[in-house]
Structure 1
Amino acid sequence: MASANELKLLYENQLKEKLSALESTRKKILNRYILTFLFLAGLIAGNFFLVSLNPPEALIVISIFGSATFLIWFMYETGKINKKYRVTFKSGVVAEVVKLINPEWQYLYDHCMSQESYQRSGIFPHHYDRYEGDDFVTGQIEQTDFQFSELHTQYKQVTYGPKGQRREHWVTIFRGVFLHADFNKNFSGTTFVLPDTAERLLGKFGQSLQKMSGRGELVKLENLEFEKQFVVYSSDQVESRYILTPTIMEAMVNLSNRFGGEIYFSFVGSRVYFANSINEALFEPNIFRSGVNFSDMKEMYDLFEMISVLVNELNLNTRIWTKE
């Protein structure tokens, strides 16, 4: 694992120059966004003025159609420039940060966690209509193999207004980072460790709601700090207690305190699945301010370091079991 000082050296010796070279493209994209906004405002104002002059109807149609066609073309061209900028940033900057952490890890900026892995985890059972992600990393830390990526899943919600008008909007199920790693034990059941939002928000009433999860039996454990933050369900009470040792529970509390947001775990097959809810785009260049700053690289480094932190905190390289 690389140190923060090594990241600083990488930034000063390589990444700063690459980011500086990208600045002209970033500014070009930003200027095109500003021009699009100004053109749209001018288009609306101009057409209102044109209508006030009572010109032939055909002239109004031609004006609106011509302006709209130009605007669509301009936005399309801007999108192409933005896509190229994004690819250059990820392949030339993000990839170097991953390589610094571990040169043997494989980074694929345009891939994501498989839908099979997401479904197998059982963490988010709600059906989804849209499955998106990127920044896929796969590799090994000592004896433990893992896969990691950013994910965003949504379902489409349809409602109807008082006059029967159909409305659609997209509801997020999960947005953040998703990871699974080898636990070196074949589980006979499934165990879920989820954020205890019900008890946190509703107190004693929330405790009664915990029993109606549909994920298996509610498992009560002895670690009070763990119980404050998480709720555990399992199809096998004995196995869940075998998995969730005092060390593992303490590690989960540490991970929750360190990463923030809502974190989820499941133990399925021979894998531990982990999801950290982060409601923003990750590992992306910021168009609206200079990309030449070390803080962005440090934030990116910390997110990828989550992989190593998780493996080490959960002691996944300590082979206390053998697979059967």
Structure 2
Amino acid sequence: MDSELNSKVNLQEILNTLEVDRKKISETYKTCYILFGLAIVILVIGLLIRFPALGFIGFLVSALIAILMHFKIDDDVKQYKADYKTNVVASALKTVNESFVFAPLSGLSEYEFVSSELFTTEPDRYKTQDLITGTTDKTSFWFAEVHAEYKTQTQTKNGTRTEWHTIFEGIIFAADFNKNFNVSTVVRPKSFGASLGAWFSKNVFSFGNTEVVQLENTEFDNKFVTYSKNQIEARYILTPAMMERILALNNKSDETISISFIHSKMYIAFPLSQNYFEAPIHSSLLAPDLLTDDLSIVKFMHDIVHELDLNTRIWGKE
């Protein structure tokens, strides 16, 4: 009890100190915004009264001051954000699970992202951060924010136009499944293409060596399409109980999840647009709901181990 109380007191002291830094940064940003607005006003007035030179000079002076102030505070902002993650978020995560280790600058490697087979397109641009690792009972798990994109290039009259398209944005969760799978089994949301594949798969429609697996849970087959190179192993993994648990987990997600079972691990992709664990700039660190959203998503990830009953060791690693 004393250690828990001391922890809360220490966290409050950290928040009080960081709040001073936050206010300084926030006020500087507000001043920059005002100066940029003033620069535009001076320019417009100068043009209206037919003194464009005066307007441009006023614009440049105000804008330059704003840019210099913004540049000068940049290092303080980076340090503030780093201190918030290292001291505030890392400490708060311990209230969910004492084993949690938070590595803000680390994430899920691009190699692991590709080898998870959750997606069919390899990224041309890949960003990841905020890796959280931990254990609950017998199961090790980890998750991180990921933004993966691919690019397309088209020829235009003015040259080559490059466009970026999102493959995935959200959180990738991974856990030890305690079995070395012989092949990979992948469960993806049912798109139009997947529906066609499932329709033809009554006679085992295949993509190369990978087959669409028909399962005995109609609701599961209506929501997902399952691919595997081994029908027997896929059904061994996706037991009736496991399919019910996956459906229950999916119902708690805003968008349809994707799951793969590969190399003794389970991977789950949760599409999300919100960026978590970021320090607020224009709202107080002393707000009672400061960490509500962050801890909510962490608890959701943490509870997956129990939701999918991963601690029940019905197999041993071969």
**Match for residue 227 of structure 1?**
221
Contact between 2:198 and 2:225, CA under 8 Å: does it hold in 1?
A: no
How far is 1:165 from its partner? Answer: 5.8
Is the CA contact 1:144–1:317 (under 8 Å) kept in the aligned structure 2? Answer: yes
> Are the structure 2 counterparts of residues 288 and 307 from structure 1 closer, same or farther at C-alpha, using a change threshold of 3 Å?
same
Cα pair 2:43 2:52 within 8 Å, conserved: no
User: What displacement does 1:139 show?
Assistant: 2.9
Equivalence for 2:51: 53
User: SS in structure 1 opposite 2:304?
Assistant: helix
- Match in the other structure for 2:233: 239
Distance 1:261 1:26, change over 3 A: farther
1:97 and 1:55, CA in 2 relative to 1: closer, same or farther beyond 3 A? closer
Within the candidate set 65, 86, 92, 2:81 is matched to 86
> Shift in Å at residue 149 of structure 1?
1.2
Q: d(CA) in 1 for partners of 2:245 and 2:86? A: 33
Residue in 2 aligned with 1:277?
Answer: 271
In the alignment, the residues of structure 2 paired with residue 13 and residue 244 of structure 1 have an alpha-carbon distance, to the nearest angstrom, of 46
In structure 2, the CA distance between the partners of 1:214 and 1:81, relative to structure 1 (3 Å rule), is farther
TM-score, with length taken from structure 2: 0.83
**CA apart distance, 1:277:** 0.9
Give the equivalent residue in structure 2 for 1:174: 168
Using the aligned pairs only, state the percent identity: 33
CA contact (8 A) 1:30 1:288 kept: yes
Change (3 A) 1:213 1:37: farther
In the alignment, the residues of structure 1 paired with residue 26 and residue 62 of structure 2 have an alpha-carbon distance, to the nearest angstrom, of 21
Q: CA deviation at 1:252?
A: 0.6
Task: Tell me which moved more, 84-93 or 26-35.
Answer: 26-35
Q: Displacement of 1:174 after TM fit?
A: 1.3
Q: Deviations over 1:283-324 (max 9, x none)?
A: 112223223233332322222223331112222222111222
Q: Which amino acid aligns with 1:53?
A: F
**What's the offset of the Cα at 1:219?**
1.6
Residue 259 of structure 1 is matched in structure 2 by: 253
Partner residue, 2:120? 125
Task: Judge conservation of contact 1:192–1:232 (CA < 8 Å) in 2.
Answer: yes
Residue 136 of structure 2 corresponds to 141
Could you tell me how far 1:172 is from its partner in structure 2?
A: 2.1
Preserved contact between residue 153 and residue 174 of structure 1 (Cα < 8 Å): yes
**Residue 35 of structure 1 aligns with which residue?**
31
How far 1:181 sits from its partner (Å)? 1.4
**Aligned residues, how many?**
311
Query: Who is 1:294 aligned against?
Result: 288
Find the counterpart in structure 2 of residue 196 from structure 1.
190
Deviates more, 1:313-322 or 1:209-218: 209-218
Quick one: distance in 1 between partners of 2:200 and 2:168? 22
Which residue pairs with 1:303 in the alignment?
Answer: 297
Does structure 2 retain, via aligned residues, the 8 Å contact 1:195–1:263? yes
Does residue 317 of structure 1 match 2:311? yes
Q: Is contact 1:215–1:233 with CA below 8 Å preserved after alignment?
A: no
Where does the alignment leave 5 or more consecutive residues of structure 2 unmatched? none
Mapped to 2, the partners of 1:183 and 1:38 lie a distance apart of 55
Structure 1 gaps of 5+ residues are 1-5
Amino acid in the other structure paired with 1:19: L
SS state at 2:140 partner:
strand
Q: CA RMSD in A?
A: 3.3
Kindly indicate whether the alpha-carbon contact (under 8 Å) linking 1:43 and 1:67 is maintained by their aligned counterparts in 2: yes
CA deviations on 1:246-265 (whole Å, 9 max, x unpaired) are 11111111111223323111
